[in-house]
Structure 1
Amino acid sequence: MLTALADALAPILLIIGLGFFLGKRTDYLNSPSLGALVSNLGLPALLLYSVLSMQMQVFSMLKIIAATVIVLAVVALLSYVFLKTFKLPTRFYLPPLVNPNTGNLGIPIAYALFGNEGMAIAVVISSVVQISHFTLGVGFMSGAYHPKQLLKNGPVIALLLGAALLSFKVNLPAPLMNTLSMLSNITLPIMLMLLGKSLSSLSIKESSKINRAAALSLFRPVVGVLSACLVVYFFPLSHLESSVLIVLNAMPVAVISYMLTIKFKGPVDDIALMILLSLPVSLFIVGFLWWFHL
């Protein structure tokens, strides 16, 4: 069991480590266009290919979307109560606690543990979380939100397109599917290397904040898993769909929360610490779940 888990997670950690090394020693990953390429082209291609290649039913997709929304709502409520109890500002701390790193970490882990079908479910879940980043995240941290921002979100467009093609039972031509497949194959490694590069560039200046960051880092994956377990108990999901939903909600604080905190001048050091500390906690929880045959 441990060997199987190590075999699944080792490539992910090695590529993250490669991204960390390249971020420290080279400028290979410094282009901001690389992140935009993954967000606007790679991830939408991965989403569309995964959904269409496994011929996911529209009803199944809607179930996964609804379950993800409910989990995020439960986590948001519990996080709000937690932050108010400890008198921490919700503006900058609520979005990182609610929105896990389902993109450049969750999708590769889902693929490693559950294969292509698990990855297809993961990219649907990740698309919903991305919407949450650009609604809850931007709305809370900026104090304002404009719905038109979603119209520029590639994964959201791909999700709507995939649902439309499935609804009308339209099969894309083989050359187009092969193109999507090739784009999908390069997307996961780039996402992982960009995560490593982001970790290498985190700036932490006040180590005295480590206790608070540690508590929040533990809270994020634990409350995510517990909320997901509660939802799947009552929601009509398959075993695979439930497993992927639980694993993705065990993911750490997302790097995009760090980027938004910088943009809106929030507690950057705290969020950076939360990302670093929640990563090993999340991997431990995933290992624990895998050990008990999730």
Structure 2
Amino acid sequence: MNLVLTVLEIVAPVGLLGLVGFVWVRAGFEYRMEFITRLCMTLSVPALVFTALMKTEIDPAALTSVVFAAALAYGALTLAFWGLTAIMGLDRRTFLAPLIFGNTGNVGLPLALFAFGQTGLGYAVVVFAVMILWSFTFGVWIVAGGGSPARLLREPIMGATLLGGLFLWQGWQTPAWLTNSLDLIGQIAIPLMLITLGVAVARLNARRLGHALWLSALRSAICLGIALGAGLLFGLPPVALAVLILQVTTPVAVTSYMLAEKYGADAESVAGLVIASTLLSVITLPLTLAFLI
């Protein structure tokens, strides 16, 4: 019973805030997705990432192991899903990126924070940064048929990650007034991202949901196995291993749908994956957390 209550305490805020966004849109209220997304991605999330890294008390050697484990996990996922799309005859431009990249921002960061506290958030931010790096290079290249690594350098999240890593490495701290300001800015990121997730799901039009459901289930199993293997290979401590598994197994990111829409892939099929994997995560994420806790 205690385990059930613990998992419920972790998952409930995520589900309820997502539900707020879903109901808000279904009720006909206005929600400016472009403004909120830009606010989060250019200001609030970078502030969250920077302060989380700067204030973390995690051993830098452990963070380095997480970086390598996450890089190995995403590399292995790329190879696994490249082969899967070939075997199943799926359009690689449409399906490969959604299968690889989970919702490590909207879902992963809040869950890691609620489940494992500030330490968990520090590890989650590192996995999130590795995912962003691969997503904005290989991910964009595969969907768009081309992409420039220079695009990554223009992303505030990467600048915040590098700067936060430098502060962590050197043991530096910003002045208290600046740290408090950045904390306040960063604190709006998690609730806004969760509400935005609910809004996005409410606005998506899914196609072939049955196909998307079993493909999402297969994706979850592959992600779990690869994340567990990568974490064990690098000997990650228990919390770091749990966060890596949690992040890699998050449902398909809404940004995958946005990229498919932007670059002319089959956006409706990607929408189906987003909805199916998000629905499936209602079952898989609590089970995963119960196992990890």
Normalising by structure 2, report the TM-score.
0.94
Contact 2:20 / 2:195 at 8 angstroms: preserved in 1? yes
Note if 1:62 corresponds to 2:61.
no
Distance in 2 (CA, whole Å) between partners of 1:66 and 1:283 is 29
- The residue aligned with 2:136 is 134
Q: CA offset at residue 27 of structure 1?
A: 4.5
Give the drift of 1:183: 1.3
- Structure 1: distance between partners of 2:138 and 2:218: 19
The SS at the match of 1:292 is helix
- Give yes or no for contact 2:220–2:249 (8 Å, CA) kept in 1: yes
1:194 equivalent among 193, 196, 199: 196
Conservation of the 8 A alpha-carbon contact between 2:21 and 2:199: yes
- Cα displacement (A) at 1:196: 0.7
Cα displacement (A) at 1:55 = 3.3
Equivalent-residue separation in structure 1 for 2:264 and 2:13 (angstroms): 35
Check whether the contact 2:129–2:161 (CA below 8 A) recurs between aligned residues.
Answer: yes
Select which of 147, 166, 185 maps to 1:183: 185
Change (3 A) 1:71 1:197: same
**What is the CA–CA distance in structure 2 between the aligned matches of 1:133 and 1:216, rounded to whole Å?**
20
Residue identity opposite 1:8 in structure 2: I
Q: Does 1:265 align with 2:264?
A: yes
Matched, 1:144 2:143: no
Match of 1:163 in 2: 165
CA positional deviation for 1:26:
4.2
Q: Distance in 2 between matches of 1:148 and 1:99?
A: 20
8 A contact 2:242–2:292 mirrored in 1: no
Partners of 1:140 and 1:60 lie apart in 2 by 32
For each residue in 1:155-191, what CA deviation from the matched residue of structure 2 results, as whole angstroms up to 9, or x when unmatched? 1101110122223322211111111211121111001
Amino acid in the other structure paired with 1:273: G
Q: How many residues align?
A: 291
Q: Once the 2 structures are TM-superposed, how far is the Cα of residue 112 of structure 1 from its aligned partner?
A: 1.5
In structure 1, C-alpha distance between the alignment counterparts of 2:188 and 2:292, rounded to whole Å: 30
Which residue number in structure 1 is paired with residue 107 of structure 2?
105
1:54, 1:117 within 8 Å by CA — same for their partners in 2?
yes
Give 1:18's aligned residue: 20
Structure 2: runs of 5+ lacking an equivalent: none
Q: What is the CA-CA distance between 1:217 and the residue it aligns to? A: 1.2
**Pick aligned residue for 2:116 from 114, 117, 122:** 114
Alignment partner, residue 290 of structure 1: 289
Distance 2:49 2:289 in 1: 25
Contact 2:56 2:168 in 1 (8 A): no
Match of 1:46 in 2: 48
Point out the more displaced range, 237-246 or 25-34.
25-34
CA distance in 2, matches of 1:143, 1:88: 16
What 5-or-longer segments of structure 1 have no aligned partner? none
Q: How far is 1:292 from its partner? A: 2.9
Structure-2 separation of matches of 1:21 and 1:93: 29
* TM-score normalised by structure 1 residue count: 0.94
Kept in 2, the 8 Å contact 1:220–1:253? The answer is no
Q: Distance in 2 between matches of 1:87 and 1:292?
A: 34
- CA offset at residue 198 of structure 1? 0.6
Matched AA of 2:138:
L
Q: CA deviation at 1:284?
A: 2.0
Letter in 1 for 2:193: M
Match of 1:153 in 2: 155
Distance 1:245 1:269, change over 3 A: same
1:128-167 Cα offsets, whole Å, 9 max, x none, are 1122221122100111111110111111101110122223
Corresponding residue of 2:39: 37
Shift of 1:43: 0.8
CA contact (8 A) 1:50 1:120 kept: yes
Inter-partner Cα distance in structure 2 for 1:163 and 1:196: 31
State whether structure 2 residue 224 is matched by structure 1 residue 225: yes
Q: Percent identity?
A: 27
Q: Distance in 2 between matches of 1:243 and 1:36?
A: 30
The 3 A distance-change label for structure 1 pair 10 and 99 is same
Q: Which amino acid aligns with 1:287?
A: P
CA contact (8 A) 1:220 1:252 kept: no
Query: How far 1:31 sits from its partner (Å)?
Result: 4.5
CA contact (8 A) 1:58 1:163 kept: no
Checking the alignment, whether the CA contact within 8 Å between 1:19 and 1:196 is kept in structure 2 is yes
Per the alignment, residue 243 of structure 1 pairs with 242
Work out whether residues 142 and 264 of structure 1, in 8 Å CA contact, stay in contact via their aligned partners in 2.
yes
Measured against aligned partners, the alpha-carbon deviations of 1:26-46 in whole angstroms (never above 9, x if no partner) come to 444225121011011111111
